Structure 1
Amino acid sequence: MQSRSLVTQNRILNAAVQALVEFGYAGASTVKIQELADVSRGRMLHQYPSRDELLVAAVQHLASARVDDAGAQVDWPAAPGARICAVVDAMWSTYQQDYFWAATELWIGARHNDDLRRALVPVERALNKRVRAASDAMFGVPIIDAPAYPVVRELLNTSMRGVALTYAFDRRRPSSEPDLTLWKDLALDRLLGPDCR
């Protein structure tokens, strides 16, 4: 059973992510987070004395949990081609999650906020390592042994991130994203070869 302090901490972190997603970086005030978490101001400030520290911790907390969950999945198809396609689908689904949009709000806020940028850089670097490790676990051996694998992994993540950002103003069904087929074809060709699908 979780301690009362840990339960409160999770409520505050979840409320901070919710505030970022619903109101953006500028609107995710400590007052709004406190209301969403339904905790006293003193309790929230005791755990997180700075708004930016709280927002960074919240996104890192949620993203780390989701990334670790994805990396722990074990029920992938046995055939390499089917596994690659399933992993690409799973990777793409992460860019529709709340933590992606909350992180995006922080990235944009960090452009003009040096304190936020300083707080965000080490957290993002650590999270990127976890994303790479989770991607490696999802693709698995022998796929990750392909010489092109590191480049394909990075290209998939950066391309998916860029396409996902367009959903902020052009809402559509992620499952019918035209680039999804392109990403799969690219991964299959580069990781298995055009004749080995």
Structure 2
Amino acid sequence: MQPRSTITQGRILDAAVTALVEHGYAGASTLRIQEIAGVSRGRLLHHFPSRDDLLVAAVQYLASARVDAMAHAVKWPASPKKRISAAIDAMWSTYQQDYFWAATELWMGARHNEQIRSVLANEERALYQKIRAAADSMFGTPLNEHPSYTDVRELLNTSMRGVALTYSFDRRPPGRDPHLRVWKKYATETLLTPAPEVGADS
């Protein structure tokens, strides 16, 4: 059984993500988070004296848990082509989660807030390392050993992030997004093409 303080902390973090998603950075006040979590102000401040530290911690907490779970939740196909398709579907699904929209609110808030920018910078670097490791697990060996794999992974992540942002105003089924076909075609053609031998004539 989890200690009471750990359960309370989890409720506060979940409430902070909900507040960010439903009310945006400006509307995610400590009072609103306290009400959503159903805790006293004293208990909230005991765990998180700073609002911005709380918001950053909440997004990192949820993102880390979801990314870890996603990398191990799928029974990956044996076929390399099908594995690429499944990995891209899994990566894309992470950009439809609440933590992505909560993180987006923090990124926008950080544009004009030096305090949250400084807190966010280090946490985002650490989280992105987890995202990279999760992607590596999704694609698996030998795909992630291909010389072009790192370029593929980075391009997929940055492209997915950009496309996902359009869903803030253009609501459509993400599973039928036309970019999925493009991402899969690019990754398949790149990762299933044998790398040239070192020293081979160009």
Alignment TM class, shorter chain as reference: over 0.9
Deviation string, structure 1 residues 150-183 (Cα, Å, up to 9, x no partner): 0000000000000000000111110110000000
Tell me which residue corresponds to 1:121.
Answer: 121
CA distance in 1, matches of 2:41, 2:184: 48
Tell me which residue corresponds to 1:191.
Answer: 191
CA distance in 1, matches of 2:74, 2:182: 25
Tell me which residue corresponds to 2:99.
Answer: 99
Tell me which residue corresponds to 1:18.
Answer: 18
Shift >4 Å, 4+ stretches: none
In angstroms, what is the RMSD of aligned CA positions? Answer: 0.9
CA distance in 2, matches of 1:73, 1:187: 22
Tell me which residue corresponds to 2:156.
Answer: 156
CA distance in 1, matches of 2:84, 2:29: 41
Tell me which residue corresponds to 1:109.
Answer: 109
Instruction: Say whether 1:67 aligns with 2:58.
Output: no
Tell me which residue corresponds to 1:131.
Answer: 131
Deviation at 1:74, TM superposition (A): 5.3
CA distance in 2, matches of 1:75, 1:101: 27
Deviation at 1:72, TM superposition (A): 2.3
CA distance in 1, matches of 2:166, 2:69: 26
CA distance in 1, matches of 2:190, 2:115: 41
CA distance in 1, matches of 2:65, 2:138: 15
Contact 1:17 1:59 in 2 (8 A): yes
Deviation string, structure 1 residues 106-134 (Cα, Å, up to 9, x no partner): 00000000000000001000000000000
CA distance in 2, matches of 1:77, 1:133: 19
- The number of residues matched between the two structures is 194
Question: Which 5+ residue runs of structure 2 have no aligned equivalent?
Answer: 195-202
CA distance in 2, matches of 1:142, 1:96: 28
CA distance in 2, matches of 1:127, 1:116: 16
Deviation at 1:102, TM superposition (A): 0.2
Contact 1:59 1:103 in 2 (8 A): yes
Give the residue type in structure 1 aligned to 2:187: A
Tell me which residue corresponds to 1:177.
Answer: 177
Tell me which residue corresponds to 1:52.
Answer: 52
Deviation at 1:75, TM superposition (A): 1.2
Question: Which 5+ residue runs of structure 1 have no aligned equivalent?
Answer: none
Contact 1:73 1:138 in 2 (8 A): no
Deviation at 1:15, TM superposition (A): 0.1
Q: TM-score, normalised by structure 2?
A: 0.95
